[in-house]
Amino acid sequence: MEQIDFSLVDWSRAQFALTAMYHWLFVPLTLGLSFIIAFMETVYVRTGNPEWKRLTKFWMTLFGINFAIGVATGIILEFQFGTNWSNYSWFVGDIFGAPLAIEGIMAFFLESTFIAVMFFGWNKVGKKFHLLSTWLVAFGSNLSALWILVANGWMQFPTGMKFNPDTVRNEMENFWEVLFSPVAINKFLHTVSQGYVLAAIFVVGISAWFLLKKREQLFAKRSIIVASVFGLLSILFVILTGDGSARTVAKYQPMKFAAMENLYEGRQNAPLAVIGLLQKNTTDGELKKQDFAFKIEIPNMLSYMAFLDANAYVPGIHDLVYGNPQHNILSYKERSEKGQIAIASLAEYTAAKKSGNDSLANTALAQFTANYPHFGYGYYVNRDMHELIPSVPTSFYSFRIMVGLGFHFLALFLVVFWLTYKNKIESRRFILYTALWTIPLAYIASMLGWVVAEVGRQPWVIQDIMPTIAAVSQIKPASVQVTFWMFAVLFTGLLIAEIKIMTTQIKKGPAQDNSNK
Amino acid sequence: MFETFSYITLQEYWWIIISLLGALLVFLMFVQGGQTMLYTLGKTEDERTILVNLLGRKWEFTFTTLVTFGGAFFASFPLFYSTSFGGAYWVWMLILIAFVVQAVSYEYRSKPNNFFGHRTYETLLFINGLLGTVLIGTAVATFFTGSDFSVNKMNLTNLTGSTMPVISEWTGPAYGLEAALNLHNLTLGLTVFFLARVLALLYFMNRVNNAPIMERVKKHLIYNAIPFVVFFLTFTIWLLLSDGFAVNPQTKEVFVEPYKYLHNLIAMPVVAVLFLVGVALVLLGIIRPITCFVKCSTKGIWGAGIGTVLTVFALFLLAGFNNTAYYPSTYDLQSSLTIENSSSSFYTLTVMSYVSLVVPFVLAYIFYAWRSIDSKKMDIEEIKSETHVY
C-alpha cells in the first residue's frame, strides 16, 4: 500500500468527473424544460389557441436537441462503475445496483416511449393523449433523477445496509431507508428544483434575446411569464432544500462541512463567513491551512444553519484530524488504527472460517463489527493525513459562488416577472441583457453544486467505508488516460455541434406556418 | 410473495430476467443492423431520409434496453459487473463509445449548421451498427468460451502488497480485446451482425412505402440471410460439440465437462424446445418473404423477431442453468462466476423481484404507444408533413 499508483486513481477520477460534468451540462435543462413544455401544451389544449402550440413546439425542438446529447453522455456513467470502479461495484453493488436498475425499468422506458409520441404523435394521436405523453416525459425524466440521486445520496450517507463478512460486501437490509434517507431526499429535491431554475433561466434568457431583437414579442412575453413563475417557485424551493442539504452535510459529513466553511477550529456560536478570501498559507502543527485574508461574518449563523441552534458546536478540520475528546470526536489516527483492526479481523475471520475454527472466527467477527464504522480509514495507516482532507479552497469558493448566484436568480425572476406583468419588459434593455447573460451563470451555479458535493466528500467514494484508492479496477493508468482523452475529444466535439445546432434553431425562431402541424 | 421463495429460485428468476433482456436487446439491434445499410438501400437523399426516420423512431428502445440490461445485471449479479466490465475494459469501452455516437446522430443529422455535416452522422450510425453488434456478440460469446481472470474477494484486506487491492484481476494484457480474436467469439459477433441486418430488412419490409427501396430490400435479404445462417450454424454446432464449464452442485467446484451445452439442452427439454422453435421461426420469417414477397413480406419481422428472442433467451439459459458457470475463467476455473456465487443478496433480489412486476406494464404501454404512432407505412410525404424529422 505504500506505493499506490496514484495515477490510476487520479485518471479514473478525472474520467468520472469529466463524463459526469459533461452529462450534467444537459440534464438540468431536460428536467425543467420538460415541465415548462408540459405547462405550455396544457394551456394550448385548454384554450385551443394555436399560438400556444407554436410556443410548445419551439421549446420542444430545443428540448430534443438537448435531450439527445444528455442520453449520449449518460450511458457512460452507468457502465463506468463497472469498468473503472470494479471493487466498488462488488463492495456495495448489492445496494447501489438496485436504484440503477429501477431507473432503467421505471423511468427510462417511460421517457423514451412517450418522447416518441411527443415528437411524432402530433398528427397521429388525440390532443389529450399527446398532452399526457408530454407530462409523462417530464415525469419520467424526473423519476430517473430520483433514482440516480438516491444512489448518490447513499454514497454520501450509507444507510439501510449491513456488511456481510462471508460475501465480503455490504448488503441491503432496508430498501426504504435507502430510498427515504434524509440525504437522498434533500439531494433529490435540491437537485431537480435547481434544474427547474436553470431551465426557467434558459427560457427567460432566450425570450429576452427575442425582445432585444424586437422579434416575436408576444411569443417571448408569454414564455417569460410561464418561465418566471416556474422559476420563482423553484428558486424558493432550491433555497429551502439547499438549507436542508447543508444541515445533512453538517450532520453526516462534518469534514465536508468544515471544508465548505474553511473552519479549522471548531467552536460554539460559530459565525458564518458570508464573503471571504483565503490567502495566507500557514500551518497548525503538521496541518497545512489557509487563513482568511478578509471576511464578512454573521455571528452565530453557522451554528444555527448547521444545527438550528446558535449555541451548537460545529467541529473544525483540526478537531476532525486530531480528535476532540470533549465532543467525542476521534482523531484520524485513532480511526485509521480501528479501521486497520477491522480489515485485519475480516481477514482473520475468513481464515478461521476456512480452517473450521469457529471460536476464533467469532472473536474476529466481534472485533470486526465493533470497528467496521472506521473500515475505510484502515487504508490510511501511516499515510499523509492531508489525503483525508478535501480541497478547502475549492469547496469554500464553489459553495459561496453557488449560493450567491442563487440569490441573483431570485432577484432576476422577481424583476422579470414584475416587468412582464406590467408590460414594460421590452423597454428595459439592461434587464433583458442581464437575463440573457444569466444563462451561463445558471450552468455555472449548477455545476458548482456538484463540485461542492463531490470534491467535498473526498477521499470517500462511500463515506468512511471505502476511499477512492480502494475502489478502482485493476487496469493500466495509460488505458484510462487514453479513454479519458477519447471522451474529452468526443464530448467536446458533440458539445460544439449541440451549441451550433441549438443557436441556429433559436435564431430561426418558432415556425411561422402553423396550419395542420 | 417473493420472500417465500428460496434464494436459488430468486437467483434463477433473475437469470431469466437478464436472459430475457439480453434476448430483447439482440432483437432490437435491428436498429443497428439498419444503420449499416443506409447507403446500400437508400440511393437518394429522400430514400435515406425514410430509412433513417424509420430507425430513428426505434433507436431509443434499443438504447434503453441496453442501459436497463446493464442496470439489471448490476443489481442482480454485481460480481459479473465488477469482473467483466473492469477486466474486459477495452471491449466494453468500445461498445459504449459506439452507443454514445449513436444517440446524437439521429437528432443532429438533418439539423442545419450541425458542425460535422450529415455524412459524418451517417458514418457514426454505421460505426454504431458495426461495432455495437459485433462486439456485443463477441462479449456474449465469452459466456461460453471463458476469459482469463481471477476473483479473490479477500484482496480487499491486503494492505501490505505494493499494488492496489483489487478483487477481480484480469491476466491478459489486452484487457478484453483478446476476446475479439477468438474465432468462436467472432463467429457469434458476426452472427449477431448479420442477424441484425436481416431483422432490419424485415422491419423495412413491414414499414416502408417506397418501391425502389423495397426492391433492394428483397435482394439484400438473401445476401444477408446466407452469411447469417452460415455463421449461426457454425457457432451452434461448435457450441454443442464443445466442452463446457460445469459446477458440482454439492462442492460448488467448477470443472470442464465434454459436451456440457449439449447435455444442458437435453437436460432441459423446455429450453431445447424454445431454442428449436426460435430457430424455426427465424428461418420461417426469412424464407417466407423470399418466396412470397408481395403477400408475406410484412409479417417476416414478427416471426424472425419472436424467433430471435426465443433463441437468444434459450442460449442465455444454456449458459447459466443446470449447474453451469455462465462466466467462466479459463485462467482459474474456481474463479468462474455462477448464478449462485455472483448474485445479490436474498433481500436485494426480493426487492428487485417486486420491481420486476412493473415490466409487463412497461411492455404494455410501449406496445400501445408504438401502435398509436406506427399506424401507417412510411413514405416521404409523411416525413414532409412532420415537424420533427431526423
Interface with B, mutate which of A89, A163, A513 (most B CBs under 10 A)? A89
Whether B178 shows a pLDDT value over 90: the answer reads no
How many A/B residue pairs have CB atoms within 8 Å?
A: 310
Among A141, A169, A147, A173, CA closest to A159: A173
| Contact assessment for residue A32 and residue A199, using Cβ atoms and an 8 Å cutoff | yes
Q: How does strand A169-172 pair with strand A161-164?
A: antiparallel
> Can you tell me whether residue B342 is helix, strand or coil?
coil
For B93, the closest of A83, A113, A503 (CB atoms) is A83
- Taking the CA of residue B350 and the nearest CA in chain A, the distance in Å comes to 10
Q: Do B388 and A168 touch (CB under 8 A)?
A: no
What is residue B321's predicted lDDT score, i.e. its pLDDT? 96
Among A394, A402, A399, A460, CA closest to A157: A460
Q: How far apart are the first and last CA of chain A?
A: 65
Q: Do A89 and B84 touch (CB under 8 A)?
A: no
Cα separation of A146 and A107, whole Å? 9
Integer CA distances (angstroms), B210 to A213, B38, B217, B380, B381, in order: 44, 14, 11, 8, 11
For B100, the closest of A75, A86, A133 (CB atoms) is A75
* Domain boundaries defined on chain B: 2-228+340-384
b/e per residue B213-234 (b: at least 16 CB within 10 A): bbebbeebbeebbebbbebbeb
Whether A513 shows a pLDDT value over 90: the answer reads no
Residue bearing the bigger pLDDT, B383 or B151: B151
What is residue A517's predicted lDDT score, i.e. its pLDDT? 39
Q: Do A98 and B90 touch (CB under 8 A)?
A: no
Which residues of chain A lie closer than 8 angstroms to B373, CB-CB?
A: 116-117, 120-121, 124-125
Identify the helix (H) or strand (E) that includes residue A361: helix A358-371
Cell reading at A92: 456495495
Cell reading at B315: 442460449
CA-based torsion, B261, B263, B269, B272: positive or negative:
positive
Q: Do A101 and B344 touch (CB under 8 A)?
A: no
Which residues of chain B lie closer than 8 angstroms to A343, CB-CB?
A: 156-157, 159
What is residue A516's predicted lDDT score, i.e. its pLDDT? 40
For B372, the closest of A64, A65, A124 (CB atoms) is A124
Q: Average pLDDT for residues B213-227, to the nearest whole number?
A: 95
The 3-state DSSP composition of chain A as helix, strand, coil percent (nearest 5) reads 75, 10, 20
Does B250 touch chain A if contact means CB atoms closer than 8 Å? no
ω into residue B173 within 30 of 0, thus cis? Answer: no
For A93, the closest of B66, B74, B114 (CB atoms) is B74
Cell 501511516 belongs to: A382
- Taking the CA of residue A451 and the nearest CA in chain B, the distance in Å comes to 24
Cα separation of B32 and B55, whole Å? 9
Q: How high is the mean pLDDT of chain A?
A: 93
Q: Do A68 and B107 touch (CB under 8 A)?
A: yes
What is residue B162's predicted lDDT score, i.e. its pLDDT? 55
Which residue of chain B comes nearest to A498, CA vs CA? B114
Q: Do A82 and B86 touch (CB under 8 A)?
A: yes
- Its pTM stands at 0.94
- Taking the CA of residue B273 and the nearest CA in chain A, the distance in Å comes to 29
What is residue A4's predicted lDDT score, i.e. its pLDDT? 58
Supply the DSSP string of B188-227, one letter for each residue: HHHHHHHHHHHHHHHHHHHHB--HHHHHHHHHHHHHHHHH
CA atoms within 13 A on the CB side of B124: 23
Whether B156 shows a pLDDT value over 90: the answer reads no
Which residues of chain A lie closer than 8 angstroms to B388, CB-CB?
A: 60-61, 64, 119-120
Whether A169 shows a pLDDT value over 50: the answer reads yes
| Contact assessment for residue A36 and residue A204, using Cβ atoms and an 8 Å cutoff | no
Query: What are the residues facing A466 on neighbouring strands?
Result: A462
Integer CA distances (angstroms), A142 to A29, A76, A108, A331, in order: 11, 19, 10, 41
Cα separation of B67 and B70, whole Å? 5
Among A289-293, A311-315, A364-368, B31-35, which is the least confidently predicted range? Answer: A289-293
Residue A338's contacts (CB-CB under 8 Å, 6 or more residues apart) are A330, A371, A374, A377, A378
- Taking the CA of residue B388 and the nearest CA in chain A, the distance in Å comes to 6
What is residue A5's predicted lDDT score, i.e. its pLDDT? 66
Which residues of chain B lie closer than 8 angstroms to A177, CB-CB?
A: none
Supply the DSSP string of B32-97, one letter for each residue: HHHHTTHHHH--SHHHHHHHHHHHHTTHHHHHHHHHHHHHHHHHH-HHHIIIIIHHSHHHHHHHHH
Whether A2 shows a pLDDT value over 70: the answer reads no
pLDDT category of residue B163 using cuts at 50, 70 and 90? low
- Taking the CA of residue B363 and the nearest CA in chain A, the distance in Å comes to 9
Does B92 touch chain A if contact means CB atoms closer than 8 Å? yes
pLDDT category of residue A345 using cuts at 50, 70 and 90? very high
Does B157 touch chain A if contact means CB atoms closer than 8 Å? yes
For A94, the closest of B107, B348, B373 (CB atoms) is B348
Supply the DSSP string of B297-329, one letter for each residue: GGGHHHHHHHHHHHHHHHHHHHHHTTTB-SB-B
Whether A492 shows a pLDDT value over 90: the answer reads yes
b/e per residue A481-502 (b: at least 16 CB within 10 A): bebbeebeebbeebbebbebbb
Cα separation of A182 and A247, whole Å? 10
Q: Average pLDDT for residues A357-367, to the nearest whole number?
A: 95
Q: How does strand A161-164 pair with strand B168-170?
A: unpaired
Q: Do B157 and A347 touch (CB under 8 A)?
A: yes
For B167, the closest of A84, A90, A129 (CB atoms) is A90
Q: How many CB atoms lie within 10 A of CB A225?
A: 17
Q: Average pLDDT for residues A46-62, to the nearest whole number?
A: 95
pLDDT category of residue B237 using cuts at 50, 70 and 90? very high
Q: What is the pLDDT of residues A268-282, one digit of tens each?
A: 999 999 999 998 788
Q: Do A124 and B164 touch (CB under 8 A)?
A: no
For B108, the closest of A4, A105, A501 (CB atoms) is A501
Q: Do A90 and B82 touch (CB under 8 A)?
A: yes
Does B67 touch chain A if contact means CB atoms closer than 8 Å? yes
For B348, the closest of A117, A172, A517 (CB atoms) is A172
The dihedrals phi and psi of A511, each to the nearest 5 degrees, come to: -60, 140
What is residue B181's predicted lDDT score, i.e. its pLDDT? 86
What is residue A474's predicted lDDT score, i.e. its pLDDT? 87
Which residues of chain A lie closer than 8 angstroms to B387, CB-CB?
A: 57, 122, 511, 517
CA atoms within 13 A on the CB side of A439: 15
Interface with B, mutate which of A22, A79, A469 (most B CBs under 10 A)? A79
What is residue A3's predicted lDDT score, i.e. its pLDDT? 53
Q: Of chain B residues 162-191, which have a CB less than 8 A from chain A?
A: 162-170, 175
| Contact assessment for residue A258 and residue A324, using Cβ atoms and an 8 Å cutoff | no
Whether B303 shows a pLDDT value over 70: the answer reads yes
Q: Average pLDDT for residues B61-79, to the nearest whole number?
A: 95
Does B79 touch chain A if contact means CB atoms closer than 8 Å? yes
> Can you tell me whether residue A474 is helix, strand or coil?
coil
Q: What is the 3-state secondary structure (H, E, C) of A45-84?
A: HHHCCHHHHHHHHHHHHHHHHHHHHHHHHHHHHHHHHHHH
The dihedrals phi and psi of B151, each to the nearest 5 degrees, come to: -120, 125
What is residue A281's predicted lDDT score, i.e. its pLDDT? 81
Q: How many CB atoms lie within 10 A of CB A277?
A: 14
Rounded-to-10 torsion of CA A137, A138, A143, A145: 110
Among A406-410, A471-475, B197-201, B312-316, which is the least confidently predicted range? Answer: A471-475
Residue A359's contacts (CB-CB under 8 Å, 6 or more residues apart) are none
| Contact assessment for residue A86 and residue B83, using Cβ atoms and an 8 Å cutoff | yes
- Taking the CA of residue B226 and the nearest CA in chain A, the distance in Å comes to 34
Residue bearing the bigger pLDDT, B187 or B384: B187
Strand intervals (E) in B237-283:
244-247, 254-257
Which residue of chain B comes nearest to A472, CA vs CA? B166
The DSSP symbol for A271 reads: P
Q: What is the pLDDT of residues A448-466, one digit of tens each?
A: 999 999 999 999 999 999 9
Cell 485462467 belongs to: B331
For B372, the closest of A121, A169, A470 (CB atoms) is A121
Whether B292 shows a pLDDT value over 90: the answer reads no
Q: Average pLDDT for residues B45-57, to the nearest whole number?
A: 93
Among B78, B144, B19, CA closest to B342: B78
Which residues of chain B lie closer than 8 angstroms to A160, CB-CB?
A: none
Whether A1 shows a pLDDT value over 60: the answer reads no
Which residues of chain B lie closer than 8 angstroms to A124, CB-CB?
A: 372-373, 375
Per cent of chain B over pLDDT 90 is 81
Cell reading at A152: 448518490
- Taking the CA of residue A433 and the nearest CA in chain B, the distance in Å comes to 25
Q: Do B74 and A86 touch (CB under 8 A)?
A: no
Query: What are the residues facing B151 on neighbouring strands?
Result: B168
Q: Do A476 and B175 touch (CB under 8 A)?
A: yes
What is residue B221's predicted lDDT score, i.e. its pLDDT? 95
What is residue B159's predicted lDDT score, i.e. its pLDDT? 79
What is residue A286's predicted lDDT score, i.e. its pLDDT? 82
Q: Average pLDDT for residues A13-31, to the nearest whole number?
A: 96
pLDDT category of residue A383 using cuts at 50, 70 and 90? confident
- Taking the CA of residue A426 and the nearest CA in chain B, the distance in Å comes to 30
